[in-house]
Amino acid sequence: MSLLRKLAGETAIYGFSYILSRVLYYVVFTSYLTRVVSKSEFGIYRDLYFYVAVILVLLTFRMETTYFRYAKEDRPAVTAMSMTFLTFFAGLFFLLLLIFRNDVSVWMEYPDMTTHLLMLGGVLFFDTMIAVPFAILRQQNRPIRFLMMKLGSIFLNITLVLFFVELLPWLSTLNNWVAQWYHTEDIIFYVILSNLLASAFTFVLLLPMMRQQSLRWDWGFLKKMLGYSWPLVIVGFAGVINQYSSIAFQKYLLPEDTISNLSNGGIYAAAASLAILMSLFTTAFNYAAEPFFFAHKDREDARSVYSDVALAFTIIGSLMMLMILAYMDLFQYILGKDFRQGLEVVPILLLSFLLLGIYYNVSVWYKLADKTIFGAWIAGIGTAITIGLSFVLIPAMGVIGSAWTALACYIFMVITAYLLGQKYYPIPYKVGRMAGWIAGAMVLYFLMEWLRGFYDDKLVVILAVNSILVCLYVYLLYRMEGHLLRNALRKK
């Protein structure tokens, strides 16, 4: 079986689990929540989970990637040390949050949400503890179990949200005891509680895997692991800042009061969620590609394969971007009526997420060559760009400044990672073809928008013309790149 076919198969399985889970999350936490909470509450929800994403990167310390790096050397040692390290720091974090919860809530400008923050601390503890077990499943090529565990957690989370937000209010009208403790005005509390219970349940299910590993301390081996992983922590931390910090900046940099800024941030976050399919695709690809790249780095034709992977990713990603933009008139109805005002950010963010996926491809060299420090520098400068441009563009342009900031950051990261990679770990990427397909998708999108002016907003005509242009793009792909797909599926 060809390597591209193997990667495609694993991406399909990991991608199915990830994409389905995120689509389910999307239905509940974007489409559903934008119909049951206010714009400011949705902004608060997204702001809180930005901090969760940042802290999770710090707590896991990229031990999942470190596991892939050292599993072939000494799997028992890397497993034991990873779990020991994560257990200690996850527990320490929760203890500190418990002690300083009031100070943290005041600093975040949520003084009445200390209980919410403690529950998020519990989510972080459990999600940190399951990071390595999920990495073990990926490294051992057990995607079906990975799929079942991920989806089980998601379904439980969604079920609990619907139970707390839909069923309990009805029960409270029938039962005085339920009515006494159920707080109908605090939906975000029950969303977080559902997340906590689902994460705890997943942790319990994975406990048998962890119980098979002894907790031990080998400072020499841990030092070796940390030397590899700490630059990746900076990469991960920077990635979260670059992808999810928009509302955190908007809360402080937009010109109105905090509640109004969070309302505007909620509109931005909801519109940005329409770019979710591109983000899901890049993340699903990364799930499968990271262990794939490590497993095949010693093959003679590995670099040629990496080049084909990057081209295939760009082609599929460009097509997805064009299709989302072509049918934006339909996708917008996923959002609640009050959240459809910020759609102008979607094209910018789609291109940004596509570039992020290309960055995952062209930056693989520093992991394979054990030069992760370069990843830290690239991501660190990218974060500086994000922070600096946020302070400049958000006050001047409003929430759309966050979208342009993201695009500028990823353009820098892709170009820098590619140029450094050609110096230290040359891979013959087909840059011209990759850029051509991206440009072709953008040209067709601009053509769609120009032609729209001739239809007087007739939806049927708009969708018909856009479909014809999408089919034209697919035809060109088939004629010019069909051989790539055939080679990927051919058995060897």
pLDDT tens for each residue of the chain, 492 residues long = 455 555 555 555 555 665 666 666 666 677 788 888 888 888 899 899 889 989 998 999 888 878 877 876 667 778 888 888 899 999 999 999 999 999 999 999 898 899 999 999 999 999 999 988 888 887 776 767 877 888 888 889 989 988 888 888 888 777 776 667 777 678 899 999 999 999 999 999 988 877 666 666 677 788 888 888 888 788 788 878 888 889 889 999 998 988 899 898 888 988 888 887 777 777 766 666 666 666 666 677 778 878 888 898 899 899 999 999 999 988 888 888 888 888 899 999 999 999 988 998 888 888 777 787 888 899 889 999 999 999 999 999 999 999 999 999 999 999 999 999 998 888 899 999 999 999 999 999 999 999 988 877 788 999 999 999 999 999 999 889 877 766 654 544
Q: What is the pLDDT of residue 119?
A: 97
Q: What is the pLDDT of residue 22?
A: 61
- Per-position b or e across 183-216, b if 16+ CB within 10 A of its CB: eeeebbebbbbbbbbbbebbbeebeebbeebeee
Q: What is the pLDDT of residue 121?
A: 97
CA separation, residue 174 to residues 161, 167, 178, 181 (Å): 20, 11, 8, 13
Report the amino acid identity of residue 287: Y
Q: What is the pLDDT of residue 186?
A: 83
With 0-12 CB in 10 A as exposed, 13-18 as middle and 19+ as buried, what is 258? middle
Tell me if 45 sits within 8 A of 186, measured CB to CB.
no
With a CB cutoff of 8 Å and minimum separation 6, the contacts of 52 are 120, 123, 124
Pull the structure tokens for residue 477: 């792909």
Pull the structure tokens for residue 408: 């500028």
With 0-12 CB in 10 A as exposed, 13-18 as middle and 19+ as buried, what is 308? buried
Q: What is the Cβ-side half-sphere exposure of residue 221, based on CA atoms within 13 angstroms? A: 20
| CA atoms of 363 and 410, how far apart (whole Å) | 12
The number of helices, as runs of H, and strands, as runs of E, in the chain is: 23, 0
Q: What is the pLDDT of residue 249?
A: 93
Phi, psi of 8 (to 5 degrees): -60, -40
**DSSP per-residue string spanning 390-440:** HHHHHHHHTTHHHHHHHHHHHHHHHHHHHHHHHHHS-----HHHHHHHHHH
Pull the structure tokens for residue 163: 């139970």
Q: Which domain holds residue 176?
A: 3-489
pTM above 0.85?
Answer: no
Domain count, the chain: 1
Q: What is the pLDDT of residue 385?
A: 95
| CA atoms of 253 and 408, how far apart (whole Å) | 19
Pull the structure tokens for residue 84: 């020991």
